Amino acid sequence: MQNSVVNYNTVKENIDFRYEAEFFLPKYIEYENILSKKPTIRLCDCALFYNGRAFDSNEFSFDGDVYISKIGDVTQKRDYRSWEKVSRTHFDKLKAKYLKQNDILMTLTGDPPDVGKTQLIFNPPDRTLSWNQRVALIRLKKQENIVSPECLFVTLSTKYCREHIERWAKGIRQRNVGNPAVLNMPVPKFTLHFQGLLAEIVKNSFNLSDNSHHYYSEAEQILLSELGLTDWKPRHQLSFVKNFADTQSADRIDADYFQPVYDELIEKVKQYGNGYKKLNDLVSIKKCIEPGSEAYQENGIPFLRVSNLSKFGINNDNQQYISESLYEELKNYQAQKGEILLSKDATPGIAFYLNNEPEKMIPSGGILRLKVKDFKAIYPEYLTLVVNSVVVQKQIERDIGGSVINHWLVDQVKNALIPILPESIQKDISDKIADSFLKREQSRKLLDIAKRAVEIAIEQNEEEAQKWISQEVKPFA
């Protein structure tokens, strides 16, 4: 049982006259007291705050000109190429704003862990990025020597600011935080020297992240070049002719399944000189399990859902957990080193290779576990790249076309066609993927170091934080 004793005047003076017990949880009071002993400014004293536009979901298209950040896009991975796009005509019609260098995005709504996530915009392409109404833009005022964008970004990522946002967010399941709560957030003031140290760490982290994207892109380009798909631009046709025998053979009658673009891709794979195989010939496939939402709890053993899976790793966004006892019953479903996790439901075709021993976890029924049968025939890193590439993604698009809820059936998974590149090229691709993931992990660790350094500076002092930085960044020197 937790309890806090709060003076009525404290309740009366808060900006929203909040009086529910959860607002005064001991951890909130503790963090507030710690911050009150440090010199701070309000966020509104150093930054401007802009809400995004409500873009029409029907206007998002593959051929759009402007990338739009939504809640799920606000991450430290910074891969804007995964954002959905709208035409510049629709963008201009809404009189929306573009993102600029050193802008900070913050999520305003979502499940509890998703509220208050931040992302620093670093080296954005000109007139290309924007954000929607569920995300806010924080832009520093043109004032010197108050706070650097890198320092503010790291500070907003710490538990002190994240808990402030969570405290002021309203709602039970879907949480929303208002502008006043964000603008009145206390921001610690640090010396220019300490801010400079943080800025250097953040920039090094982002440079490593850019290198990671570069290596991954190079691997993709090698694959596409080998298959003659480098300049391939899939186009949807309004009319085409198919034989009745084709519908019988495919056991499908929906027109989208027979779009010529899919035939073009399949022919590219089948005509590749080194051959191809069905996925089922290359891997063994294990199904996972769905214990039901009633088994979820706030802590315990992670229960991995499709939303926690990406081609670059496993995230903890809205992570659900199961009990130790249930894990013991289900431990045969534990993901293993050397397996490829592949989503088949909701967002089918997300593949991630477990190169290292994973922590305890149980993947959900929407995820398959793949194990390469013969490592001499195909590199698992290469296979994972192929699944995540247009080569397999278009096959998935064809297979699930017309569904309200996306399901890539196991039989369809087994029949996915995989081009078999020569061993030397597979190795080159796999090496670049390994380099990409190494740089990505180093980037993540540097941001964690910066975040912890800010927390140490708040809890102790800048001198102790600098000692922490000196000790932790040595492996990256």
Question: pLDDT tier at 383 (50, 70, 90 boundaries)?
Answer: very high
Strands 129-131 and 66-69: parallel
Distances in Å between the Cα of 264 and the Cα atoms of 2, 65, 305 are: 63, 25, 33
What's the half-sphere exposure (Cβ side, CA atoms, 13 Å) at 256? 10
252-285: per-residue pLDDT in tens?
777 777 788 889 999 999 999 899 999 999 999 9
259, part of any domain: yes
Residue 11 in any domain: the answer is no
pLDDT tens for residues 127-171? 999 999 989 999 999 865 689 999 999 999 999 999 998 888 887
Same domain, 368 and 243: yes
**What average pLDDT score do residues 117-125 get?**
92
At 31, list the tokens: 């963090």
Residue 4: is its pLDDT beyond 90? no
Taking residue 278's Cβ as centre, other Cβ atoms within 10 Å add up to: 13
Q: Which domain holds residue 156?
A: 39-189
Residue 5 has pLDDT above 80, yes or no: no
- Rounded to the nearest 10 degrees, the angle between the axes of helix 192-226 and helix 462-472 is 30
In a domain, 21, yes or no: no
Q: Are 356 and 240 part of one and the same domain?
A: yes
Q: Which residues, including other chains, have CB under 8 Å from residue 290's CB and lie 6 or more apart? A: 364, 365, 366
Q: Count of H helices and E strands in the chain?
A: 17, 22
Q: Is residue 14 part of a domain?
A: no
pLDDT digits (tens, 9 = 90+) for 199-209: 999 999 999 99
* CA distances (Å), origin 342, targets 250, 262, 285, 322, 394: 24, 21, 10, 21, 16
294 with 314, same domain: the answer is: yes
Report the alpha-carbon distance of residue 177 to residue 168 in Å, rounded. 6
Chain-centre distance for alpha carbon 105: 14
- In this structure, the answer to whether residues 114 and 179 fall within a common structural domain is yes
The DSSP annotation for 102-125 comes to: T-EEEE-EESGGGTT-EEE--SPP
Give the residue carrying structure tokens 């995820």. Answer: 367
Asked whether the predicted pLDDT for residue 6 surpasses 60, the reply is no
Do 83 and 182 lie in one domain? The reply is yes
Query: Closest by alpha carbon to 122, among 67, 78, 73?
Result: 78
**The pLDDT of residue 226 is above 70:** yes
For the chain, how many structural domains are there in total?
3
Q: What is the pLDDT of residue 19?
A: 53
Report the chain's mean pLDDT, rounded to a whole number: 89
For the chain, the first-to-last Cα distance in angstroms comes to 46
pLDDT 10s digits, 348-359: 999 999 999 999
For 293-305, write each residue's pLDDT tens digit. 899 998 899 999 9
* Residue 45 counted as domain residue: yes
pLDDT for 475:
74
Kindly tell me if the per-residue pLDDT of 198 is higher than 60: yes
Tell me which residue of 355, 354, 350, 377 sits closest to 282, measured CA to CA: 377
Q: Given a cut of 60, is residue 409 above it in pLDDT?
A: yes
Domain at 364, CATH number? 3.90.220.20
- The residue among 134, 166, 189 that closes a domain is 189
Sign of CA dihedral 111, 114, 116, 121: negative
Residues 60 and 175 in one domain: yes
Whether the model pTM is above 0.95: no
| pLDDT number for residue 25 | 78
pLDDT for 113 beyond 70? no
Is residue 162 one of the residues assigned to a domain? yes
Report, as an integer, the average pLDDT of 418-441.
96
Rounded to 5°, the CA angle 306-114-347 comes to 20
